[in-house]
Amino acid sequence: MKKPRIMIVDDEQSVRSSLREWFLEDGFEVETAEDGLDALKKLDSGPFDLMIVDLKMPRMDGITLQRRLHEVDPGGTIIILTAFAAVDTAVEALKLGAFDYVTKPVDPDELSHTVRRALEQKRLTEENVRLREKVSELSSSSPIIGGSPAMGHVMDLVGTVAETEASVVIRGESGTGKELIARAIHAASPRRFFPIVAVNCGAIPETLLESELFGHEKGAFTGAHYRRKGKIELANGGTLFLDEIGEIPPKMQVDLLRVLESHRFTRLGGTQEIESDFRLVCATNRDLEALVKNEAFREDLYYRINVFSIDLPPLRDRLEDIPLLTEHFVDKYSRSMGKPPKLMTEEAVELLQSYDWPGNVRELENAIERAMVVGQGNRIRSEDLPLRVEQDAVRPRERSLDALESAHIARVLREESGNVSQAARVLGIDRGTLYNKIKKYGIQSG
Partner 1 sequence: MTDEILLAFLNDFRPSWSEDLRRRVGAATDRFVRADSLQVDLRRFHAPEREQYHATLLLAEMLRHRPAGAGHIVGITEVDLFIPVLTFVFGQAQLGGAGAVVSVMRLHADYYGLPANEGLLLDRAVKEVVHELGHGFGLVHCPDYSCVMSSSTYVEDVDLKAERYCRDCLDLLAHPPETRANRI
Cβ 99 to partner 1 shortest distance, Å: 18
Distance CA 43, CA 37 (A): 10
Cβ 12 to partner 1 shortest distance, Å: 7
Distance CA 339, CA 373 (A): 10
Distance CA 155, CA 64 (A): 56
Nearer to partner 1, 81 or 118 (CB): 81
Cβ 134 to partner 1 shortest distance, Å: 26
Tell me which of 104, 229, 304, 425 binds partner 1, using CB under 8 A. Answer: 104
Distance CA 91, CA 130 (A): 31
Nearer to partner 1, 26 or 415 (CB): 26
Distances (CA, A) of 1 to 27, 116, 229: 11, 16, 23
Cβ 105 to partner 1 shortest distance, Å: 5
- Helices 322-337 and 346-353 cross at an angle (nearest 10°) of 120
Nearer to partner 1, 15 or 39 (CB): 15
Backbone angle region of 97, left / alpha / beta, with phi > 0 → left and psi within -120 to 50 → alpha:
left
Compute φ and ψ for 321, nearest 5 degrees. Answer: -85, -10
Tell me which of 108, 223, 340, 428 binds partner 1, using CB under 8 A. Answer: 108
Q: Which stretch binds partner 1 (CB under 8 A): 3-11, 195-203, 270-278, 281-289?
A: 3-11
Q: Do the beta carbons of residue 119 and residue 275 sit within 8 Å? A: no
Q: Which are the contacts of 200, defined by CB distance < 8 A and separation ≥ 6?
A: 243, 244
Nearer to partner 1, 105 or 159 (CB): 105
Distances (CA, A) of 328 to 33, 74, 223: 60, 43, 44
Tell me which of 85, 88, 95, 109 binds partner 1, using CB under 8 A. Answer: 109
Cβ 69 to partner 1 shortest distance, Å: 21
Nearer to partner 1, 86 or 169 (CB): 86
Tell me which of 45, 112, 262, 272 binds partner 1, using CB under 8 A. Answer: 112
Contacts of partner 1 in 10-29 (CB under 8 A): 10, 12, 14-15, 17-19, 21-22, 24-28
Kind of pairing between the strands at 279-284 and 168-171: parallel
Nearer to partner 1, 4 or 175 (CB): 4
Residue 105 binds partner 1 (CB under 8 A): yes
Cβ 52 to partner 1 shortest distance, Å: 9
Cβ 78 to partner 1 shortest distance, Å: 16
Distance CA 186, CA 195 (A): 9
Cβ 87 to partner 1 shortest distance, Å: 17
HSE-up of residue 109 (Cα within 13 Å, Cβ side): 0
Kind of pairing between the strands at 273-275 and 264-266: antiparallel
Cβ 436 to partner 1 shortest distance, Å: 58
Contacts of partner 1 in 49-88 (CB under 8 A): 81
Size of the site for partner 1 (CB under 8 A): 28
Give DSSP secondary structure letters for 360-376.
HHHHHHHHHHHHHHH--
HSE-up of residue 45 (Cα within 13 Å, Cβ side): 15
Q: Which are the contacts of 127, defined by CB distance < 8 A and separation ≥ 6?
A: none
Contacts of partner 1 in 243-282 (CB under 8 A): none
Q: Nearest CA to 324 among 441, 437, 433, 402? A: 441
Nearer to partner 1, 33 or 344 (CB): 33
Cβ 25 to partner 1 shortest distance, Å: 5
Site string for partner 1, 199-228 (x = CB under 8 A): ------------------------------
Q: Which are the contacts of 439, defined by CB distance < 8 A and separation ≥ 6?
A: none
Interface contacts to partner 1, rule CB under 8 A? 1-4, 10, 12, 14-15, 17-19, 21-22, 24-28, 81, 104-109, 111-113
